[in-house]
Chains A and B, each alone.
Chain A
Amino acid sequence: MRTPTLRTGWAILVFALVLLPLPLLIKSEFWLTWVTLALFYAYLGQAWNLLGGYGGQFSFGHALFFGTGAYCTAVLQIHFGINAWAGFVLAAVAAGIVGAATGWLVFRYGLRGSYFALVTLAFAEVFRILANTFAFTGAGVGLLVPLQPGAWQMQFESKAGFFWLLLILVVACLLFTWWLQNARFGARLMAVRENEDAARALGVDPFNTKLLAIIASGAIAGSAGAVYVQLFLYIDPGIAYGPSMSVEALLVPIIGGLGTVFGPVLGAFALHTIAEIGRLVFGEAPGLNLVLYGVLLVLMVLFLPNGLFGLGRFGFGLRRRLQRKGGANA
């Protein structure tokens, strides 16, 4: 639709090249895990950003998709011995289907804004209770995925394997959102976000557009769940469908910059730096990170509504204005 911004393409390339050799340079297991987790949350945030940032539909329950993907791959592996990579694909499909069902129900009846947020929150809770009930999901005990080391089972010997896997996924998402910004589907999605009635007058079908977005967003979040399961080899209803995953998913792009290509990546690294500092300063008090996140969210909304990415853009604008002023004086 729009002229592709080459600058973004270069930025993606630089990002990939800088991070690629990191596992070879970082010797500390702690820091490698830290970067890997930051990438994981960036990936989850990218899923949310697709629907929330570009589509303007703020989900408070992205754990619904994450958990479905996680359980899908764990259940298939434990009960049916299905390969983790196949499980990864099936997890995305399953979460996409849950997304389609949710979207069909919610958008069909025109629920927007806080109503949409509440319904997604409620659906995630319903799934949490269901996962707590059934034996095949391990009920309240959760599921332990058997250790089968080897890249063919997506269980890498060292953290480096997970790091590279997540890096590939994050970069794929960066490329996808970059494409989306210039694609007709992206244009339709942004039109719906900005003004649904106006979009309709331009021939956009808001229902179909939002439905596609929630399916794609759900599928990506579901695939993140599949990676999570192989990384930690354990899943329970609280982790899968609890609010903390949902909060992480939405906080990351909001802090980084809603509806921007790099927002979620920026947000994930910033958020986890802050969380780490919080842990160093205040120790491991339970629930403290959520308090910290709450404060952060309020501060962001008050002072940086466009996220960290907006800060950069503001800087650019200022520089341009100064240059223009300088030019006028000369």
Chain B
Amino acid sequence: MDTDHILQFNGVVGGYGKMTILNGTTASIRRGKITTVIGPNGAGKSTMFKAIFGLLPLRSGRILFEGRDVTGHTPRRMLDAGVCYVPQGRNIFPELSVRHNLELGGVALKDPSGLPDRVAAMLKRFPILAEKASSQASTLSGGQQKLLEVARGLLLDPKLILIDEPSIGLSPLMVQEVFGILKGLRDSGVSILLIEQNAKQALQMSDYGLVLELGQTRIEDTAASILADPRIAQLFLGGGLQPAS
């Protein structure tokens, strides 16, 4: 078993209806590291996450999690296996209380008896959520809502977190806070796979990077060398046009 990599993609093909988005994607995600996926719109970044989490039927290829084949597993089984998924956009339950939102993170738990302790631990970890535990979740600010989503995902002690565009709509300060939490998780041994429109900032705090284009992996390298790659700078990072020579 490959102990370096927590997740592997082998020639994954899939999409929506007749449209193929993932076109033979092959990649390996390192254990205990932050890996950022970058690529132009339509490259298949979010689709890749859905494929991992069992929300997209694959036409061919295999996905391995911790060396085991998880292709075609349901989201429920992926959660059981230790994968948590924080989709793009607002994913809270707006009319329920913050505490109730957290509790729903454990809706897939096999044994719900430990749930109150887990919720209490999560509230302790995120004091801002504890403060608003009995308020409606819709009263939280955008950043706090994102924290709530992350906290809800952490309830099941995941080994791998898939987090899609967490910084959308957040103030720069809040982005720093969310990224700080992700780094803290990485340091405690959790593997993180991240999609970010804010590629430069995300790569700066990442260990590895993955460049996706038209559903295929173009570059798999350390974040530092991707940041240094002039092609990438020009294409995705807003490097500016090179003066014509």
Which chain A residues have a beta carbon within 8 Å of chain B's beta carbons?
1-3, 184, 187-188, 190-191, 194-195, 197-205
Contact = CB atoms under 8 A, between A and B. Distances in A.
Q: When A and B form their complex, which 3 residue pairs have the shortest distance between CB atoms, in order from nearest? A: A203-B108, A194-B93, A198-B91
B197 interface: no
Given A187-B103, A190-B96, A194-B96, A204 B91 contact: no
Given A184-B107, A184-B112, A187-B107, A205 B76 contact: yes
A250 B75 CA distance: 33
Residue of A195, A204, A205 with most chain B CB atoms under a 10 A cut-off: A195
Nearest to A197: B87
A305 to B, nearest CB: 11
Nearest to B91: A198
Contact of A201 (B53, B96, B103): B53
A273 B105 CA distance: 42
A201 B75 contact: yes
Chain A contact residues: over half helix, strand or loop, or mixed? Answer: helix
Given A2-B103, A202-B105, 17 more contacts: A1-B112, A184-B107, A184-B112, A194-B93, A194-B95, A195-B91, A195-B92, A198-B92, A201-B85, A201-B153, A202-B79, A202-B107, A203-B76, A203-B107, A204-B107, A205-B75, A205-B76
B90 to A, nearest CB: 8
5 contacts: A195-B90, A198-B87, A200-B75, A201-B153, A202-B105
Contacts of A188: 107
B86 interface: yes
Nearest to B96: A194
Contacts of A198: 87, 91-93, 149
B94 interface: yes
A191 B115 CA distance: 17
A191 B104 contact: yes
Contacts of B89: 197
Interface residues of B, number: 30
Contacts, number: 64
A188 B90 CA distance: 18
Interface in B58-103: 74-76, 78-79, 85-87, 89-96, 100, 103
B146 to A, nearest CB: 12
Given A200-B75, A203-B75, A203-B79, A191 B107 contact: yes
Contacts of B100: 2
A138 B75 CA distance: 49
A175 to B, nearest CB: 21
Contacts of A190: 93, 96, 104
Contact of A202 (B55, B90, B108, B115): B108
Contacts of B149: 198
A190 B87 CA distance: 19
A187 B93 CA distance: 11
B96 A200 contact: no
Given A1-B112, A195-B93, A201 B87 contact: yes
B152 interface: yes
Given A1-B112, A201-B87, A195 B76 contact: no
Contacts of A205: 74-76
Contacts of B87: 197-198, 201
Contacts of A203: 74-76, 78-79, 107-108
A205 B53 CA distance: 13
Nearest to B79: A203
Residue of B75, B100, B107 with most chain A CB atoms under a 10 A cut-off: B107
A2 B112 CA distance: 10
